[in-house]
A and B are shown apart, each in its own frame.
Chain A
Amino acid sequence: MGYFLGLIVVLVALWTGLSGEYTLTKPLIATLGAISILLSGLLAYRFDILDREGSPYARLPQFLAYWAWLVVEIFKANWVVIKACLRSTLDINPALVKVKTGCESDLARTVFANSITLTPGTVSVEVEGNKILVHALYEDSAGPGAFDDMDRRSREACDGKAKS
């Protein structure tokens, strides 16, 4: 039920934001919005995707904190790749490394692997169990322990502080 309510709240926010109708002065648009939101909620319920992956909004504050940290990391990593692109003599050191993750749930693993890909200079190639195959532009940027901080933060954002 909580997941359903979370989904409805987010859909209402999305609808009002996208349509720009905050005042409900146009009954037709408001009615159409209510119908489509209820239909989406009903379909999500029928498809049985109303779980912590389909509606993860209860952890929104943690996700936002992680997101803010990740954006800073992305810009730092961008700088390295930009310099690699513009250097007059090409000087890269690609490597393929296996990263072990402490993330238990599928959601946390997805967030972790997506964060690796999102950060320029590293791409997650394959996920097998709790090991992620990562291709890195510079070998030392993917050395042992390079992803520990990101791993811990994505696990805490998705699964909470307690290590399960």
Chain B
Amino acid sequence: MTAILDLWAAFRPALGSALLLVGAVLAVIGTVGVLRFPDFYSRLHAASITDTAAATLALVGMALLAPSFAVVFKLAVVWLFLFLTGPTSSHALANAAHTAGLQPLIGRVGSENGGEG
């Protein structure tokens, strides 16, 4: 049992750092998507990668690196609030755009006008 705990103690910082790195890479991917997608609504989808997967992985990584349980609890609360407020703000944005009359781009966006469209 102690051997497993020792292994976990040795492995934990590496795992936490790796998860933080993956979360950061996902945030960059979300940003790339925001820049590449053609219109407002599809850019929202790319931004939601940063909202969900990147934030989750980064917070789990931080929890693995945390020195005490109190910090883990606070990170869990942060995660909960992110997951409750993130969709609310996304919905508010989309709803405001829809109410203002912004028409979404419908139909297949191919490589002909990809990126610039």
Binding site for B on A (CB under 8 A): 14, 17-18, 20, 71, 74-75, 78, 81-82, 84-86, 89-96, 113-115, 117-126, 133, 135, 137
Contacts and interface: CB of A to CB of B under 8 A. Distances in A.
Contacts of B38: 90, 92
A111 to B, nearest CB: 10
Interface residues on B, range: 35 or more
Contacts of A120: 45, 48-49, 52-53
Contacts of A18: 70, 73-74, 77
Contacts, number: 127
A118 B104 contact: no
Looking at B53, B86, B114, which has the most chain A CB atoms within 10 Å of its CB?
A: B53
B38 to A, nearest CB: 7
A125 B45 CA distance: 12
Contacts of B90: 117, 123
B100 to A, nearest CB: 12
Interface in B52-77: 52-53, 56, 68, 70, 73-74, 77
Given A14-B77, A94-B104, A135-B104, A85 B46 contact: yes
B59 to A, nearest CB: 12
B44 A123 contact: yes
Nearest to B99: A126
14 contacts: A78-B26, A81-B45, A85-B29, A86-B32, A90-B37, A92-B37, A93-B107, A94-B39, A94-B42, A94-B105, A114-B87, A114-B88, A120-B48, A124-B91
B111 A95 contact: no
Contacts of B108: 91-93
B103 to A, nearest CB: 9
A85 B109 contact: no
A133 B84 CA distance: 20
B87 to A, nearest CB: 4
Nearest to A133: B98
Contacts of A118: 48, 51-52, 83, 86-87
